Amino acid sequence: MDRVRFPIGKLDTFPRADIAALNTPLEAMPRLSKALGGPQLFIKRDDLTGLGLGGNKARQVDFWLGDALAKGADTVLITGAVQSNYVRTAAAGAAKLGMDCHVQLEERVKDPDHTYRVSGNVLLDKLLGATIYSYPEGEDEAGADANLGRIADELRAKGQKPYIIPLGPGHDPIGALGYVDAAREVVGQIYDKMTDLKDLPDAVVIASGSSHTHAGFLVGLRALGVTCPVVGICVRRTVDQQAPRVKARCDEIADLLGIDRLTDQDIEVYDGALGPGYGKPGDDTIEAMTMAARNEGLIVDPVYTGKVMAGLIAQARAGRWTPDQRVLFIHTGGAPSMFAYEPILTARLDAMDA
């Protein structure tokens, strides 16, 4: 796809590390569509971005590490949940670029078992050579960022050149530009008939957590004149908490790119699949994981994409879309984290299949 043909503000002036495998496929999901009785489902396979087992964070890290390299950094610092896909992908990107990586793992999930602490993304962080720190609070973004700052000061004193990928608001949303670009990629694939989806979707369904993926994709579509609803499925916060967060990120992205801001009416979030909370899969998530796997051979995880698929299924069953409408599911990856949930998943699946 020729990006120049689809310019979006200042997007192409930002440096990139070029470490993600793009463009990712955009495919039909006919068996799952049939199982739900409609709508026509399609999937953007951002689980296949390549870097460190893929996922949406590869697009974000591509921009963050591009900025880090442009500023002469040799060390990357990032904070996230114990089973953070973001942390794992940053560690992979740093390894690929020959940079040192220091990661801080926050306690966001209550009473995790041993498997959660050592398997999945934690194991991959170690394999990728990251130096690992622990942070006791899971809902203290400012504190987590401040602690990264203290670690960065220690590294500077040793002669290193650290670069912090921040967690909380108040920073330019550089990583979110990866999903502005993803929206442009999708539109280009449809325009060039490089996909089973031959026309623009009637709706997009996407994870809404930190909100950088959701907001970036939404801003990108609107900048290209695409007006379909972009439904952010809440994976960490309720609607009343998440909607203003998404709007704030959209405003920051628009300002960074020098384009018009979105309206409140552009923001749509759904928290019907959130329970029992962040990092805790409910029965609807397990059902969604099973339906995706057994109808499409598709792996969605219990923290993010499983809940997004559960939200899509719930709305389809409620009759939100007609059988002939086209709904695009953005698969943001996250499969490594499911191995940290093996005891829970095994028990639920055995009971389901009994």
- Catalytic site residues? 84
Whole-angstrom CA distances from 199 to 2, 184, 190, 202 are 19, 14, 6, 9
Q: How many CB atoms lie within 10 A of CB 214?
A: 31
Whether residue 224 contacts residue 187, with contact meaning beta carbons closer than 8 Å, is answered with yes
Residue with tokens 């192409």: 12
Residue with tokens 């550089």: 174
- H/E element, 215: helix 212-223
* CA torsion through residues 299, 190, 210, 106, sign: positive
**Type of residue found at 337:** S
CA 271 to chain CA centroid, Å, is 16
Whole-angstrom CA distances from 42 to 289, 296, 297, 321, 341 are 16, 11, 14, 14, 27
CA 91 to chain CA centroid, Å, is 16
Residues with Cβ within 8 Å of residue 9, at least 6 apart in sequence: 223, 254, 257, 258, 259
